[in-house]
Amino acid sequence: MVIEAVIFYSQVEYQIAPYYPSGFDQASYYVQTYNLIEDLTAHGWIAVVNDTLRSPSSLLFNLQGALFAMAFGKNRTAIIGVNLLYFCALQVTLFLTVRRATGKTYAAWLAVSLLLAARSMFFGNAGIYAYQMDFCALCLYGILACLIVHSQVIADLVSTLAITVAASAPEE
């Protein structure tokens, strides 16, 4: 994962960060995150409460970006590191789940390789290089699926149906 992080950050630094964000969502999330960074610097943690009142749907996302920026530098390269964190968490969870389910390390590496080969990971405005909640949601959904398999809840038919209904509930 260290090599993956080096490749990720060099790609962001030279191919992504110098250019304007390609979607309106990304631009608005960056603005909200930079505003939160300024508020945190000026007013401390009370700024999180104020940010919640302004944009409750993206509070944790903006907060994570702001914390990354405060830790690693107040720039787009540091902020987008949130996506790398989620992606690494997904890879580790997938690896451990497949290895536990199959008992074979090579199967776990194969699963991670298939994940890395998935087009959606690097898909334009919604992939790992896009600063918006879509990619984090994708990773969290994958982590949830792995944890469900890991917990062996699916061995029970009623639990399987309940999880299926809950995970596929339509948005309003």
pLDDT in tens, 104-123: 999 999 999 999 888 877 77
d(CA 104, CA 130): 34
pLDDT at 107: 94
**Number of domains comprising the chain:** 2
- Residue 79, Cβ density class (10 Å: 0-12 exposed, 13-18 middle, ≥19 buried): buried
- What would the two tokens of residue 59 be? 């509070």
Pick the last residue of a domain from 40, 57, 79.
79
| Mean pLDDT, residues 135-163 taken together | 80
Q: Percent of the chain beyond pLDDT 70? A: 84
One domain, residues 109 and 154? yes
Give 53's pLDDT tier (boundaries 50, 70, 90).
Answer: low
Say how many C-beta atoms besides its own lie within 10 A of residue 99's C-beta: 16
Structural domain span for residue 103: 86-167
Residues 60 and 106 in one domain: no
Check residue 33 and give left, alpha or beta (phi > 0: left; psi -120 to 50: alpha).
Answer: alpha
| pTM for the structure as a whole | 0.78
User: 56, 79, 102 — which closes off a domain?
Assistant: 79
* 110 located within any domain: yes
Amino acid identity at 74: K
Question: For residue 87, what pLDDT is reported?
Answer: 92
